[in-house]
Chain A
Amino acid sequence: MIVVDWLQRLGRNALFFLQRLGRATVFLLQVLAGIPTIIMQPRLLLWELYSVGVLSLAIIGISGLAVGMVLGLQMYTTLVDFGAAQSLGPVVALSLVRELGPVLTALLYSGRAGSALTAEIGLMKATDQLSVMEMMAVDPLCRVVAPRFLAGVVSVPLLAAIFSAVGILGAYFVGVGLLGVDAGAFWSQMQAKVDLHADVYNGLIKSAVFGLVATWIAVFEGYDAVPTTEGVSRATTRTVVHTAFAILGLDFVLTALMFGGI
């Protein structure tokens, strides 16, 4: 009996998940259809780029710096045992560009901007602002969702690049400035070992995928929220949790495809 119950619940949840995924996909296609209109009206897009991207700069910069400094310190203590302290540059750069930059940026972005997108769109729905637009013959998917979506997708790779760059500076500061690694070795080794295609481009592709997924989840949760106070608060939580799972899962898949030789 318990097993049957359990199976039933599993089946129901799976069906619910698939149904939601289907709705989210249709939603994504509708939003994508609205993007040409938004590109013609850059005023809306610029505003969203500001609120989604520019306002995330502080948290991305500070986190990048902190992560870079800690990374420099940790790597140095390990490398110095093997007499390889000059490799600090490439080790730090590769970790940041390939892995930490894209992943941490996406997670921070989801907490800083994704949750805000969900709450904003959800509240607009709960207060009938989306309905009133529809009744004015203005498509909210195009007017409200598409610029936010595009702004998120554009911002995340740029934020990830900034995160990695600031992180490398942080490691430089700790490694070269405090621990006495040779500055010339730090940069020249980094230049020699970090490949533009294999590392930088792949990192950018990763963060572009993460940005798309994180923003897609955020705007869909807002648009699909139950239009009540409780519904919006749940949707906001779901955005952060689902984004974390999706990013971490996708990171493994993408890493395996790009660097794992699978």
Chain B
Amino acid sequence: MDNNTKNTGQVDTLVQMRGLRFAYGSRVIIDGMDIDIPRGKVTTIMGPSGTGKTTLLRLIGGQWRPQAGSVHVDGQNVHTVNRRELYRLRKRMGMLFQSGALFTHLSVFENVAFPLREHTRLPEQVIHHLVLMKLQAVGLRGARDLMPTELSGGMARRVALARAIALDPMMIMYDEPFTGQDPITVGVIMQLIRLLNDSLGITSIIVSHDVQEVSAISDKIYMISQGKVVGHGTPHDLGRSPSDWVRQFMNGLPDGPVPFQYPAPGYLDDLFGIA
């Protein structure tokens, strides 16, 4: 906490991004973002597909390096600390990939045990107890002997979540946790996120474009579009935002400041080939 105060001047901010800029080659994906993720809360970063939400999470995790700007996690600049420090920091960040990314050659039990075996020298008995506790938390203790190919999409995500909390992280990043799930699974995952956040005090960062779910569980929402933050606040604030863009997104209107058409030459020119 002291460290945090000194470096960021804001006691309750766990992740702080300032002037963040990132491009794949010449294609700018993130173009000057300032985002503060409060400690112990559920914060959602919301935006249409392809705006760079996954990219943003990878920047927070230090997998990719921004062209400009900084990301501080718990007071440490992710992109200037050395590799050992970065690895130490990553042990305290869980990340739930969109695909789950379970290790396909390991059983459910071994997937959850993986980070424990890699980073601790605990006796087998203790690992066994810890893994079962994590699996119990996501409701899949009974599935410990299954292989990833035998799981449904929702179960795979829950196993991945159990693995992400294996080392008791201070925060978890969820990449589109609701996308492509049936309504019951969505409900289960929403409840899990809230539960882990409130009972274990884990800071949650969700990246999503599912307005309903996100509005229901987030304490704070950032809206991003075309590389910039276009609005932020509580779900309640955003619902009554004066911004056309935010209203279009929150209400799911097909056309508005975000055009229905991908940028293209004039329709007539295109049809009649006046080039």
Contact = CB atoms under 8 A, between A and B. Distances in A.
Nearest to A123: B104
Interface of A: 127-129, 131-132, 134-138, 143
Contacts of B6: none
B95 A132 contact: yes
A131 B118 contact: no
Contact of B88 (A135, A137, A138): A137
Nearest to A128: B101
Contacts of B243: none
Interface in B145-180: 160, 167
A135 B89 CA distance: 10
B63 A136 contact: no
Contacts of A129: 101-104
- Which of B58, B88, B95 has most A Cβ within 10 Å? B95
Given A127-B104, A129-B104, A135 B61 contact: yes
Nearest to A130: B101
Contacts, number: 44
- Which of A131, A136, A138, A143 has most B Cβ within 10 Å? A136
Contacts of B91: 136-137
11 contacts: A127-B101, A127-B104, A128-B97, A128-B98, A129-B101, A131-B97, A132-B97, A136-B91, A136-B118, A137-B118, A143-B118
A13 B102 CA distance: 37
B227 to A, nearest CB: 22
Nearest to A132: B101
B110 to A, nearest CB: 13
A143 B93 CA distance: 20
B99 interface: yes
A138 B103 CA distance: 13
A136 B115 contact: yes
B104 A136 contact: no
Nearest to B58: A131
Given A127-B101, A129-B104, A132-B101, A137 B63 contact: no
B99 A137 contact: no
A131 B90 contact: no
Contact of A137 (B98, B101, B119): B119
B101 A136 contact: no
Given A136-B91, A136-B114, A131 B63 contact: yes
A131 B103 CA distance: 11
The list of the 5 closest CB pairs from A to B, nearest first, reads: A128-B101, A137-B87, A132-B101, A137-B90, A135-B95
Nearest to A144: B103
Contact of B118 (A128, A132, A138): A138
Contacts of B119: 136-138
A236 B14 CA distance: 43
